[in-house]
Structure 1
Amino acid sequence: MAGIYIHIPFCIQKCGYCDFYSIIRLTDKSDFVACLCKEIIDRKDTLNGEAVKTIYFGGGTPSLLSKQDLTKIVDVLFAHYDLSKLEEFTIEVNPDDINMSYLTDLRELGINRLSMGIQSFNNKILTFMNRRHNAAEALQAVELSKRSGFDNVSIDLIYGIPNMSLQEWESSIDTALGMGVQHISAYHLTFEPGTVFYKNLKKNILKEVDDSVSVEQHALLIHKLKEKGFIDYEISNFCQPGFESKHNSSYWNGSNYLGFGPSAHSYSAPSRRWNISDLKEYMKKVQEEECYFEFEILSEKDKYNEAIMLGLRTNKGVELNVINQMKDEFILFFNEIMKKNIKLKTTFEQDGYLKVCFDQKILTDQIITDFFIA
C-alpha cells in the first residue's frame, strides 16, 4: 500500500537550523490550497488504484492551516484516492498553534497522529534555535493532545547543540519521557547550507560540538529511552511497541508514495520525482498546467546505494538477499566492505540481514558512506 505526503510551505518564523522549504508569508494560503487540490486531482491516476495506507502533512508548519483549509484538502483526497485502508493520518503541529478546539477539528477530519516539533524543553535553547514556543507551551500542548483523545503523539528533540550541557539534554529527555508520548524522533543538529546556523558556522560565530560530546549525548538518549521500553527502530526514531511511524517506515521499506506541494518528493520504483521548491512558481505552473517537477529513473547503482542507506538506518538492517540479486560487481564490493566492517565490529550479520552494532549507531552515516558506490 502507498503513502501520501503533503508539504505545507508556510512558517511564521524560520528556525536557525531548518533547511526544509518554507516561506515567511501567509498571504498566499488560499491560492496555495486551491493549487494543491488541483495537483492532487491531476495526479489521481498515478497510483493505478493502489490503496493508501498513510497520509502525512509536513512542512513548514501545517498547523497554520485552518480547519476549512484542511477540510478542502482532505475532501479532495477522499474523493480521488482509495483511502479505505487508511491506517495512519499524521499532521505536524507547532505547540503554540494548538488548542482544544483545533485538536477537536483535527480528530473530526480523521487525523489520528500528531508530530510535534518541540526540539527542547529548555527556554534558553529554544530561543537560541529561534523556536516560537516556550517550554511551558510545549508541555501544555502535549497535555491538551492527550485530553482531546490523541493516543499517538510523537515529539521531536535535537541534541548536539552548541553550549548545551549533558544535564540540559538529560532534562529534556526526562521531561519527554514523563509526558507519556508514544514516539520520539531525536536528531543530531546538522549545519545545512543556506541556514542561519550554517552561515554563523562559517563566520565562526558558532562551533560544532566535539564528537565526544555527541557520543555521550547519544548514549544517554539510547539508555534512557530503552530503560522506558522504547524501541530504536530507526537511527533517529524511537517508539513504544506498536507505535512505529507507518508513514516514515514506508520510505525505508521502498513502498510507493506521492508527494504534493512545493519541494515534495514522490517515489514509484524505479522512478523518483520532486516538485520545484518555489511556491510562486509551483502555483503558476500548476495553474497553467506546465511542468513543475523534475524526474529521474534510478540506475542500478542508485538502487544499490538506496538499499544500503535505507536498510542500515533501521534496526531491521540490509537484507542480504536483496543485495545478492544485484550486479556481480555490486555483490563483490558489498561483501568486501561487509567483511571489513564486521571485523571492525561496526556491523554484524543476523538472520539474513546486515545491521549496525548497537554501540556504533551514532556512526551510522559514516558506515553507510563506506558501503556506497561512488
Structure 2
Amino acid sequence: MAGVYLHIPFCHKACHYCDFHFVTHLRDKPELVEALKKELELQRDFFGSDRVETIYFGGGTPSLLSEPELSQLIDNVFEIFDVIDDPEITLEANPDDLTDEKLQQLKKAGVNRLSIGVQSFFDEHLKWMNRTHSAQEAENALKRAQDYGLSNITLDLIYGLPKLSMEQWKENVQKTIALDIPHISAYNLTVEPGTPLAYQVKKNRVQIPQDENVLAQFTYLMDELESNDYVHYEISNFAREGEYSKHNSSYWLGKKYLGVGPSAHGYDGSDRYFNPADNKLYLEKIGKRELPAKWENTTIQDKLNDYILTRLRTIWGLNSHFIEEHFGSNELDRILKEVKPFLNRQEVEHKAGVLTLTRKGKFIADHIAASLFKIDD
C-alpha cells in the first residue's frame, strides 16, 4: 500500500512560528493546480504494482482550493494510479474556511478526513500566533464538520506557548475531549530559523517557557488523553483505537509515498527525494515536463538512522528482526549494547524483539534516538 501527498503552498497570511513553504497571494493558484496534475502524470510509474490507500492535501492551506480544483486533483489520482475502493482522503483546513458551503464542497469532492489547525481555544494565543480564526470559529467549525458527517477529524494543538498557563492548557485539552475529536496532534512550540518567531526571540521580545513548564503540559496531555481511551501511538499523536492517521502512519512504517508540489518530498521504498521550495522554479520545471525532484544520496547508515529516528517515536518501535535483516547482525548487536543504559533506567523496554519508549523515555525521545544512531568511525 502507498500514499499520495499534494502540497498546496498558499495561505491567507503567515503564522509567526511556521517554516513550511507557502506564499500569501493566490495569483499562481490556477497555474499551480495544473502543474500538480502534470506532475502526477509524470510520476505515473512511481508505485509500480502498489495500490494507493491514502491521499493527503497539506500546505500551506489546502482549504483555499475551490471544489472544482480539489475534485480534479482527486480524480486525477484515481485515473493515474491504482487506488483502493475507500481511500483515506485528508485535507488540512483552517477553521475559518469551514463554512457550510465549503464543507458541502469537500464532502462532494470525496474528502473523508479533516486535519483542522485549531492550535488553541484562546483568542489571545491565536492573535499572538497570527492565526486567521478566533476560538469561537474553531469550536463552531468542529461542530459544523461533525454535523455534516465529516467526523473523522484530527485537531492540532500547540503547547509551550509564551503566556500559556497550565489552566489554559488544561482547558484546551478538556475542550478537545468534550468535542469528541477522535485524533489529536499536539506539538511543542519550536523556534524555527527564519520565522518571525525566531526574530522575536533573538530580539528578546518573546520569552520561551522553561522546560519544566513545557514538560508539565506534555505530562498533563498524556495523562488526560490516555485516561480517555486515546492511544499515544506517536510522540505527537493520539487517537482512539482504529482512528490512527493511515497516511502519517505510512511515513513511520516505511511505506512508499509520492509527494507532488513545491517543497513536497517522497519515498520510493528505498530512497527519498525533495521538490524545490520555490513556486517559480517548480512551475518552470513542470512546464518543461521535467520532474523537479532532487534525490538524496542516502547511505545504509542514513537509512538505519532514519529508521531509528522515525520508528522509535511510535508504538511500533525498533524491530530486532528488521534491523538484523536489513542492516546486519553487527548493527543489531551495537544497538542492543547502546540501549542498555536506557533499559536499566526504564526509559526503553524490550519485549518480543521490539524496543519501545516507556513513558519516561518519551520525555527524551530525541536524545535516546541520537544515542542509538550509527556514527562514522
Q: What's the TM-score, normalizing by structure 2?
A: 0.96
Q: Which residue of 1 aligns with 2:109?
A: 109
Letter paired with 1:354: L
* DSSP-derived class of the 1:324 partner: helix
Cα displacement string for residues 116-156 of structure 1 (whole angstroms, at most 9, x for unaligned residues): 00000011011111111010000000011001011211100
Q: Which residue of 2 aligns with 1:159?
A: 159
* DSSP-derived class of the 1:84 partner: strand
Preserved contact between residue 10 and residue 64 of structure 2 (Cα < 8 Å): yes
Preserved contact between residue 3 and residue 257 of structure 2 (Cα < 8 Å): yes
Preserved contact between residue 270 and residue 297 of structure 1 (Cα < 8 Å): no
Q: How many angstroms does 1:78 deviate by?
A: 1.5
* DSSP-derived class of the 1:89 partner: strand
Q: Which residue of 2 aligns with 1:346?
A: 347
Preserved contact between residue 161 and residue 189 of structure 1 (Cα < 8 Å): yes
Single out whichever of 14-23 and 199-208 deviates more from structure 2: 199-208
Letter paired with 2:354: Y
Preserved contact between residue 6 and residue 261 of structure 1 (Cα < 8 Å): yes
Q: How many angstroms does 1:297 deviate by?
A: 4.2
CA distance in 2 between partners of 1:106 and 1:341 (Å): 47
Q: Which residue of 2 aligns with 1:168?
A: 168
CA distance in 1 between partners of 2:15 and 2:260 (Å): 23
Q: How many angstroms does 1:169 deviate by?
A: 0.6
CA distance in 2 between partners of 1:328 and 1:297 (Å): 24
Structure-to-structure mapping, 1:68-217, within 5 angstroms: 68-217=68-217
**Number of residue pairs matched?**
374
* DSSP-derived class of the 2:5 partner: strand
Q: Which residue of 2 aligns with 1:268?
A: 268
* DSSP-derived class of the 1:348 partner: strand
Preserved contact between residue 348 and residue 356 of structure 1 (Cα < 8 Å): yes
Are residues 268 and 40 of structure 1, via their aligned partners in 2, closer, same or farther at CA, if it must alter by over 3 Å? Answer: same
CA distance in 2 between partners of 1:373 and 1:85 (Å): 41
Single out whichever of 37-46 and 206-215 deviates more from structure 2: 206-215
Single out whichever of 3-12 and 344-353 deviates more from structure 2: 344-353
CA distance in 1 between partners of 2:345 and 2:198 (Å): 33
RMSD in angstroms over aligned alpha carbons? 1.2
Q: Which residue of 2 aligns with 1:363?
A: 364
* DSSP-derived class of the 2:15 partner: coil
CA distance in 2 between partners of 1:356 and 1:186 (Å): 18
Preserved contact between residue 170 and residue 220 of structure 2 (Cα < 8 Å): yes
Q: Which residue of 2 aligns with 1:45?
A: 45
Preserved contact between residue 49 and residue 81 of structure 1 (Cα < 8 Å): no
CA distance in 2 between partners of 1:87 and 1:34 (Å): 23
> After TM superposition, what 4+ stretches of structure 1 lie above 4 angstroms from structure 2?
none
Cα displacement string for residues 77-132 of structure 1 (whole angstroms, at most 9, x for unaligned residues): 11111113443110001000011221121112221100000000011011111111
Q: Unaligned 5+ residue runs, structure 2?
A: none
Letter paired with 1:310: T
Structure-to-structure mapping, 1:279-290, within 5 angstroms: 279-290=279-290
Q: How many angstroms does 1:328 deviate by?
A: 4.7
Q: Unaligned 5+ residue runs, structure 1?
A: none
CA distance in 2 between partners of 1:291 and 1:68 (Å): 25
Q: Which residue of 2 aligns with 1:64?
A: 64
CA distance in 2 between partners of 1:107 and 1:318 (Å): 38
CA distance in 1 between partners of 2:344 and 2:227 (Å): 29
